[in-house]
Amino acid sequence: MRTLNYDALVIGFGKGGKTLAGKMAGQGMKVALVEKDKGMYGGTCINVGCIPSKSLIHSAAAAYRHKNSPKADMYRKAIEVKRSLTGMLRKKNYDKLDMLENVTIYDGMARFAGAKLVEVETAEETFCINADKIFINTGAAPRIPAIEGIQDTEGVYTSAGLMDLDIFPEKLVIIGGGYIGLEFASMYSGFGSQVTVLQDGDTFLPKEDEDVAAEIKKILEERGVEFRLGAKIKKVEKGPAVLIEWQGEELCLDADAVLVATGRVPNTAELNCEAAGVELTPRGAVKVDEYLRTTAEGIWAMGDVAGGLQHTYISLDDSRIVGAQLFGGRDYNTAMRSNVPYSVFLATPYSRVGMSERDAKAAGYQVKIAKLPTAAVPKAQVLKAPQGFLKAVIDADTNKILGVMLLCEESYEMINIVKLAIDMGADYTVLRDQIYTHPTMSEAFNDLFAV
């Protein structure tokens, strides 16, 4: 078997990997990037994650406003729009690296064959790549729970499969009430599907404050989404249909499609990590230290496969941590990363940074709570989106912002202002006294922080 030599090898075309590959090539390093799926150039985000889901969510909002238009047509059009968007971005991502003289992209499955040695299996041949530095960026894949019939029943999809379904599902059952499950519940209810969400635990969004979780649930229920919390799923049957035990009763939920949204597990099963001395965590992620170094010299892991928060911007930030070790720059590591914001793109978007009220109290802070109904924000009235509220948790002793939760239109933009303020160590009064453009959602901070 022939062996090719490179300065660096990136396994997987994810956000961190592709960013680092470009940077390394720019520094004159000879780089190989191996991607196992030709439909995944650019990674999960571009092809089956953030971008397609947000494209469909955008289309679903339009469908919701035009409820009298034929649902199936609106849906099919939305899938077409999504396909052309992801196709365009996939090509752009490929070309951006392919045009670099120092980068070679291989379409193949990579697995370790030894220290610094990776076997690559392409459609034509199997060869080895030897590289001084190796970066694992293989992402994560949907976790499929052990439920009878879930693997082989027609009409059962993961998020990627459902987003490629041309036929409009009138009835959709979603297994899993986490953030991805809820985004799909909101999206498909927008298209006009009758959506039922099944969750095994009794507490809805247990990481969030109770008032926040209750408001999110209320807003989704107002769109027609049904929740069965504490549902025990017995099996999935032909139809498809989901058999559940719920509140002491056995129910059979008929569906046109079933979405399995029960979390994502790091893609390490096929990597043969032991061959290189790369250890895994008990949850199957690559074990890394705060500099994302694995247990093997010269091998790093970035993004979902490293077992941290599963967001595209974390994978990007991981590439900064690794990049600083390669090229110099500020000393930065995962332990220094704080106040990571997140957004759930529901019809009323939810965004949060920092501690919840419950977490802050549990940590012993004396807190001041600020709350403002979204309806009090003029821009929300302009947008005809008065649902939800804004909430801030402030340290009463120091006036520092501990956490902010925004359940309102455009919260995914506003939350970045709050993160910056917290990172800069600003008192809450800075956001209160800021001059904001008008009418905007951000000017809500003038009133939210007037406590």
Ligand X SMILES: Cc1cc2nc3c(=O)[nH]c(=O)nc-3n(C[C@H](O)[C@H](O)[C@H](O)COP(=O)(O)OP(=O)(O)OC[C@H]3O[C@@H](n4cnc5c(N)ncnc54)[C@H](O)[C@@H]3O)c2cc1C
Known catalytic residues?
Answer: 438
What are residue 440's phi and psi, to 5 degrees? -135, 165
Query: In the stretch 96-135, what mask flags binding to ligand X with x, by CB under 6 A?
Result: -------------xx-------------------------
Options 311, 379, 391, 419; binder of ligand X; rule CB under 6 A: 311
Instruction: Kindly state whether residue 321 participates in binding ligand X, applying the rule CB under 6 A.
Output: no
72, two tokens: 């199936």
What are residue 429's phi and psi, to 5 degrees? -65, -25
Instruction: Kindly state whether residue 13 participates in binding ligand X, applying the rule CB under 6 A.
Output: yes
The structure tokens 């949204």 sit at 261
CA-nearest of 291, 288, 289 to 331 is: 291
Size of interface with ligand X, in residues (CB under 6 A): 36
Dihedral over Cα of 404, 139, 27, 106: its sign: negative
Instruction: Work out how close the CB of 316 gets to ligand X at its nearest, in angstroms, rounded to a whole number.
Output: 8
> What residues contact 204, with CB distance under 8 A and at least 6 apart?
177, 213, 214, 216, 217, 227, 229
Query: In the stretch 162-191, what mask flags binding to ligand X with x, by CB under 6 A?
Result: ------------------x-----------
From the list 149-157, 164-172, 306-314, 392-400, the region that binds ligand X by CB under 6 A is 306-314
Options 12, 149, 308, 341; binder of ligand X; rule CB under 6 A: 12
Instruction: Work out how close the CB of 293 gets to ligand X at its nearest, in angstroms, rounded to a whole number.
Output: 17
CA distances from 243 to 237, 262, 432 (A): 8, 17, 51
From the list 93-101, 299-307, 361-369, 439-447, the region that binds ligand X by CB under 6 A is 299-307
From the list 6-14, 148-156, 195-203, 352-360, the region that binds ligand X by CB under 6 A is 6-14
- Beta strand spans in 255-400 (E): 257-260, 264-266, 299-301, 342-344, 350-354, 367-373, 389-395
Give CA–CA dist 406/404, Å, rounded. 7
Instruction: Kindly state whether residue 14 participates in binding ligand X, applying the rule CB under 6 A.
Output: yes
Residues 391 and 362: beta-carbon distance below 8 Å: no
Instruction: Kindly state whether residue 266 participates in binding ligand X, applying the rule CB under 6 A.
Output: no
Instruction: Kindly state whether residue 313 participates in binding ligand X, applying the rule CB under 6 A.
Output: yes
Sites of contact with ligand X (CB under 6 A): 11-16, 34-37, 40, 43-45, 49-50, 53, 109-110, 137-139, 159, 180, 267, 270-271, 303-305, 310-313, 315, 345
